Structure formats: C-alpha cells, structure tokens
Amino acid sequence: MDAAVKGNMDKNTQLASNLQSIVIWGSALGGAVLAATLQAYRLPSSFEFSGYTMAASAVGGVVFWAYWKLFFVKRQFRGFKLLQFLFTVVLIGAGLAGVLYPLRFVSREQLPQLFIGLSTAVFALSGVGLLLRGCKLMFEEDERNNAVGSVGETD
C-alpha cells in the first residue's frame, strides 16, 4: 500500500474517532443537563436542586453515553439492530415525555398560543434537519467523486 494512501487513511480514521468522541461526550453532557433540569423543575417556574438532581444528571449522562457507544461499536451480535432500534424508541419517548410533561400545567386559554409556538419549532427544526441531510448527501457525493478521481493517481 502506498505510504500517502496509508497516511490519508490514518488521518481519516483519526478524524472519525475525534468526531465520535465529540458526539458521545456532547450528547452525554446534554443528557445530563436535560435530566437534571427535569428533575429540579418545580412549579411555578422554579428550580430546587438536591442530591436527586445530581443522581438524575449522572443517569442522563450515562444513558446518552451508552446510546452512542452502542451505535459506534465495531462488533455486532444477534439482535444488535433490534437493540439499537429499541434504545432509539425509548430515548425518543423519553424526550417527548420531557417536553410534553410540563404542558399538563398549562391553562386551557394558553394552549392555542402554545400550539402555534410548538408548530413553529417543529417546522424550524425540520428545516434544519433537511439542511443537514442535504449537507450529508453533498459530502457523500464529494467523497465518491474524490475516491473515483484518486484511484489511479500516483505522486
């Protein structure tokens, strides 16, 4: 194998490893903050921090850390895809519960305004998701084009 190709592969592997670390630890931090915030929230619009808040923070961080570790693992076993799917469904359900739970304290008069705000947020986040997907497709196409162009090249 050409030394330049091997060096490029090592650089890509290191970049992927760094990106995985950012995803894992960034999500773990976000999960920790989310769990702590949900545990500490008290009506009417106040926070009460306690030992339970620290425990919830630790549990939230570990759950998100484990989630991404499961997705980035190299070894696969029987039922691996099912486990990934179930873990994803549980996290989505927990996220929705975390968003919708405080809505039970909202008065009926405020629900139409809240619905407008939530709808706007859904559309905005969907737009961001579509933009990210477009970027992903663009990068994949660029990677394919670069791979095709560099197959026969030698320096």
What would the DSSP string read from start to end of 19-31? HHHHHHHHHHHHH
Are 19 and 72 contacting, i.e. CB atoms less than 8 angstroms apart? no
pLDDT of res. 123 = 93
> For residue 51, which of 38, 33, 68, 36 has the smallest C-alpha distance?
36
pLDDT of res. 11 = 67
Q: Cα separations (Å) of 115 from 13, 41, 121?
A: 45, 22, 10
Are 94 and 67 contacting, i.e. CB atoms less than 8 angstroms apart? no
pLDDT of res. 127 = 93
Collapsing DSSP to helix, strand or coil, 45 comes out as coil
pLDDT of res. 7 = 55
Supply 94's token pair: 């927990």
Beta carbons within 8 Å of 4's beta carbon, 6+ residues apart: 155
Number of CB atoms found within 10 A of residue 25's CB? 14
0.75 surpassed by pTM: no
How far apart CA 51 and CA 71 sit, in angstroms, is 31
pLDDT of res. 149 = 60
pLDDT of res. 6 = 56
* Residues in the chain with pLDDT values less than 50: 155
Q: Please state the domain extents for the chain.
A: 3-105, 108-155
pLDDT of res. 141 = 86
